[in-house]
Structure 1
């Protein structure tokens, strides 16, 4: 996509070399206070690609918001060429209340591309897709695991996309996870519009983890450097290890309810039959050891101390390419 000299977005015109902080008005609260989603735009004097960096589609995924916050506060979003658009918190409603969903109870990441006259979540999705997304040549979207489920740092992409394979490798996470696009998700909408998207997962909700944050920030720097957009003031570090491609995986579920403690660390490579953790009861009469069903990498761990039968407690790879 050829970058225009004048970027017209949300009714405002931003020229090359200019910066802007815009917002799109989502809705009014029942108190009549407005809720705005801030959009931070930085343009170089030199034309180039437009990169959209987003987080907070789920309001409780604070670590993703922290990654984008650091990108802005450190000035990484000021490009050597092209344009960088940052939306640190898309679901402002959820972020204010530390809830995953919108006040209407809907998961924003299941209503894309949205409808102009639909539910509150659907209207936000529609505005993002129609007002912001068309300007992007690449999207990097930041997420975390659900409540109590800690995700290893990973970039999720679909198979057979050469551009995504290249960019994910440049990002340099510990894991690249091939997963299908989910219907009505932001990622699937980007795919249908032909816009490459790297979806980063790491950590868990209601939590900020320094390792996850550093992995995300360093990954963005690598991708921007690859696109010749990173300001020369920043140094780019190489990943500490080569990416491991997760080709297939499965969840290990609890056979019993009880008190749970994992004994294996996230990112660990395990062998079939290895102890991963144990489930006990409060009375000291029961102790069940959770065993690895196959060789693989543990890339998600449930950190809840109390679990119920059937709960997902570990995500383990079943097929990898190292």
Structure 2
């Protein structure tokens, strides 16, 4: 896309001139009663020409950590746009947001429906509206997400790194973890990339929450991108380390029981190191689940209990340099964002050393007796 051939100056009857910031509400559909349904958007234009970037959140209506980050951007007076344009959309899926739901009322997933159809389902029509009104005006996009329900994610960027523009943008964003992944069919980022608008996502935190450290990480990364493109003044904040993750693994439980974690989001693990212990309601140890790989904890369940086959932990595999990164993290001060994220994201569950929880962990998974109650 060439920003010189696109305009962000007219939104319905609203004209946004260079140097102006205006709030608009753009109609995308109507309710059963015939009332207009609108998406609130803030448009910021710099004095000088430059790239247009859309920042979206809550494409899944319950993932509102990104909403908090965009609202922080909107209220930060320090962000003075010199060049280019920002399209800030705190909530894309307003119908899901109103219902505290991931989905639209027709129970379809908006982030599997792009680029959509003007004659399709309710969700498909909304996807088409977003594509025509937001993506088509933009040179780049950043879409903010969280883990799905009952899970949390340590902040990680996901992008198709075969695209040189996305290599530059994600590097500038400054998240320590970048997963090389084009995204599923029908996702906003994949469809936008296919349409010539390089787009990546940030996955961080939990649904139904605006977590302060996640907001800080998100805003820091967004400002880094703006600075790197010359859109605002400032110095890019560099993360303590960077690594690209090419593949991930889910670790699943073989037994039912209550969970006692021994790691937190963002922790490094080695093959065979204990991740979580399962135990019965009466405290009998059932299984010590160990890491199947070397890597870093990307995500975890926030449920306190599990059943056989359920995922308990998501590991990002690190090909090289893990010991060096571990040393870097060990030397960080307690107030470092990396450590605050780790502590904040682990507040939904208990984290203890395995030795503090079970003195002699079983070697094999015990078979439950007929009268054992979990």
The TM-score with structure 2 as length reference comes to 0.81
Matched, 1:136 2:169: no
Per-residue CA distance 1:219-245 (angstroms, 9 max, x = gap)? 001100000001x3xx44523412121
Per the alignment, residue 312 of structure 1 pairs with: 311
Deviations 1:99-120 (A, max 9, x none): 1000110110011111112111
**Which residue pairs with 2:325 in the alignment?**
none
Aligned residues of 1:181 and 1:188 also touching (Cα < 8 A): yes
- Structure number with greater Rg is 2
Residue 50 of structure 1 is matched in structure 2 by: 52
Aligned to 1:303: 302
Is structure 2 residue 186 aligned with structure 1 residue 184? yes
CA positional deviation for 1:45: 1.7
Contact 1:94 1:103 (8 Å CA) reproduced: yes
Alignment of 1:1-322 (within 5 A): 1-3=2-4, 7-10=9-12, 12-75=14-77, 78-230=80-232, 232=233, 235-236=234-235, 238-322=237-321
Deviation at 1:8, TM superposition (A): 3.1
Deviates more, 1:7-16 or 1:36-45: 7-16
Question: Which has a greater percent of strand?
Answer: 1
**C-alpha deviation, 1:196, in angstroms:** 0.9
Q: What displacement does 1:24 show? A: 2.0
Q: CA deviation at 1:284?
A: 2.6
Distance 1:281-1:227 versus aligned 2 partners, 3 A rule: same
Q: Matches of 2:138 and 2:282 in 1, distance apart?
A: 57
CA offsets per residue over residues 158-210 of structure 1, 9 Å max, x none? 13222211211111112011123211111111111111112111001112222
How far the C-alpha of 1:17 sits from its partner, in A, is 2.1
CA–CA separation in structure 2 for the residues paired with 1:288 and 1:63: 34
Q: Distance in 2 between matches of 1:2 and 1:140?
A: 16
Distance 1:76 1:100 in 2: 33
The 1-side partners of 2:236 and 2:115 are apart by 36
Distance between the aligned counterparts of 2:8 and 2:248, measured in 1? 46
Instruction: Give secondary structure in 2 for the equivalent of 1:47.
Output: strand
Change (3 A) 1:27 1:302: same
Distance (Å, rounded) in 2 between the aligned partners of 1:209 and 1:203: 7
What is the Cα deviation at residue 33 of structure 1? 4.1
Q: Please give the alpha-carbon distance, in whole angstroms, between the structure 1 residues aligned to 2:11 and 2:152.
A: 36
1:15–1:237 CA distance, 2 compared to 1 (3 A): closer
In structure 2, what is the Cα distance between the partners aligned to 1:255 and 1:76? 51
User: 2:278 & 2:35 partners in 1: Cα distance?
Assistant: 48
- RMSD (Å), alpha carbons: 1.9
Structure 1 spans left out of the alignment, 5+ residues: none
Q: TM-score, normalised by structure 1?
A: 0.93
Tell me the distance in 2 between the aligned counterparts of 1:21 and 1:189: 26
Aligned residues: 319
By how many angstroms is 1:11 displaced?
A: 5.7
In structure 2, what is the Cα distance between the partners aligned to 1:49 and 1:184?
A: 25
Q: CA deviation at 1:78?
A: 4.5
Distance 1:36 1:77 in 2: 26
* CA positional deviation for 1:10: 4.1
Bigger shift: 219-228 or 253-262? Answer: 253-262
Superposition deviation, residue 211 in structure 1: 1.8
